[in-house]
Amino acid sequence: MRELTKISEHLWEIPAEGGMRVPGRIFANDGLIEAVIEDRASEQVANVAHLPGIVEASFAMPDIHWGYGFPIGGVAATEARTGVVSPGGVGFDICCGVRLLASNLEESDFASKRQAIMSELDRRIPRGIGKGAIAPGGMIADVLLRGARAAVDAGYGLEADLERCEEFGTSEGADPGVVTDKAIKRGASQLGSLGAGNHFLEVQVVDEILDEEAAKAFGLARGMVVVMIHCGSRGLGHQTCTDHLGVMGDAMRKHDIDVPDRQLACVPVESTEGQRYLAAMAAAANFAWSNRHILAHEARQAFAAGTSASWEDLGMDLVFDVAHNLAKLERHEANGRLVDVCVHRKGATRAFGPGHPDLPEDLRDVGQPVLVPGSMGTASWVLRGVEGNPAFASAAHGAGRLMSRKKAKSVASGAQVRKDLEGSGITVRPGSVSLLSEEAPYAYKDVDIVAEVCEAAGLAARVARLRPLGVVKG
């Protein structure tokens, strides 16, 4: 294990040594850092610090755990002109992210219609490992090019929804022509579906407001029922990552690049291979933006059917949609100067602070909403971006896994997990009962602590805590 030095109450550092070009920095408290050491994810933080062109530090968010190449929760910025891009810094589920819908329902309103609403969601939301989709596969070419805008034009959701999406629901630079036929085939039957694993659609209630001004700007109020959707680019994104990892493994030799872990395969950002990956990644991201958009449309329809009211009358406006698996070309201050960088956020959320020009005008005074889902059956958080973020305007993306799926399944059966959740007042509609134990609350870190550390470390500020009422799982 590499040496970890405690810099402050919520920051730990791995000094640059050997082939490390920059130090590693992990945002955590004393309790969270113990899990990092046990997981050995700090080794991956140090490995990332070897990337050519990396700027300032290899960062890790408070929800860090072991991943492919990069740790999940890893953030690294490389010089846009002289540095590299690494698919391992994005992950297989390209543009996996979270969408949050508001409503004018209160908890008592949901309680009176609980079974009807949950049954409609259960019936309408495709999920699980196999096929099943809301939207026709014939949309996919347009979706890869235009993202959520293509979904709006096809009759899903509203134009106004795009204003409340990161990148306004469309990743620029997408080229569907560099997405393989195999990836497209995998995605064609999955447009508008949750998938499995830690993905979910959850009905929640705003349990606590810590920042009234920001909550008002976001359209949130205490006691409000909301809907959170967590999913990504499905098989299309996974195949896209797989395809380009194969290309980069060979291309590294051509570019004379050596890294300590082959899972960190990378090429120069400005190389042909780098540009093709970024164009394919953007196309896969557009699939993910559209996927969440279509799922949100169907969730609105489910609430309308379950309450015998229109979703417009229910006030189901979009709060925001954020991604947590992307590499983006951005401009940031690093080491006292403004630099154009490729920011890899792998299990980390963009968290632009107040005044950033890329934010919607109505949110610019308070900062970007940062959506941090907890584990199934625990709270989730809405935070906001703040000025002076020390990690290229990035924050945590969730609670962070504490134990492997295999270990989690050995603790309790899926049936027992469901019984416990429903005993605590959370209605569960699983695609697979047996797989519930993989996502049990005990398998994850405490999301309340993760949110507290984000705030204390200056990554993002807490706005509202959300408590689950019902969950639809793959």
What are the tens digits of pLDDT across the range 141-162? 999 999 999 999 999 999 999 9
Per-residue pLDDT tens for 322-359? 999 999 999 999 888 999 999 999 999 999 999 999 99
Q: Which residues are known to be catalytic?
A: 397
**Amino acid (one-letter) located at 194:** L
- Average pLDDT for 268-279: 98
Q: What whole-number distance in Å separates Cα of residue 16 and Cα of residue 14?
A: 6
State the average pLDDT over residues 163-191.
97
Classified as helix, coil or strand, 79 is: strand
Q: How confident is the model at residue 474 (pLDDT cuts 50, 70, 90)?
A: confident
Q: Phi, psi (5° rounding) for residue 91? A: 100, 170
Which of 9, 48, 45, 44 is CA-nearest to residue 26?
Answer: 45
- Between CA 171 and CA 166 the distance in angstroms is 9
Buried b (16+ CB within 10 A) or exposed e, 77-112: bbbbeebbbbbbbbbbbbbbbbbbbbbebebebbee
- Work out the average pLDDT over 309-327: 98
Q: Is the pLDDT of residue 223 over 70?
A: yes
DSSP bridge partners of 264: none
Region 413-438 average pLDDT: 93
pLDDT at position 50 is 98
Measured distance CA(116)–CA(306) in Å, rounded: 5
3-state secondary structure of 198: coil
446 pLDDT above the threshold of 80 = yes
Q: How confident is the model at residue 128 (pLDDT cuts 50, 70, 90)?
A: confident
**Residue recorded with tokens 């029922």:** 225
Domain 5-402+444-473 fold:
tRNA-splicing ligase RtcB (3.90.1860)
Find the mean pLDDT for residues 235-260: 95
Q: If DSSP codes are grouped into helix, strand and coil, which group holds residue 299?
A: helix
Parallel/antiparallel/unpaired status of strands 11-14 and 5-8: antiparallel
Residue ranges of domains in the chain:
5-402+444-473
Q: Angle, to 10 degrees, between the axis of helix 181-188 and the axis of helix 234-254?
A: 160
Instruction: Give Cα 44 to chain centroid, integer Å.
Output: 20
**What is the mean predicted confidence (pLDDT) over 177-201?**
95
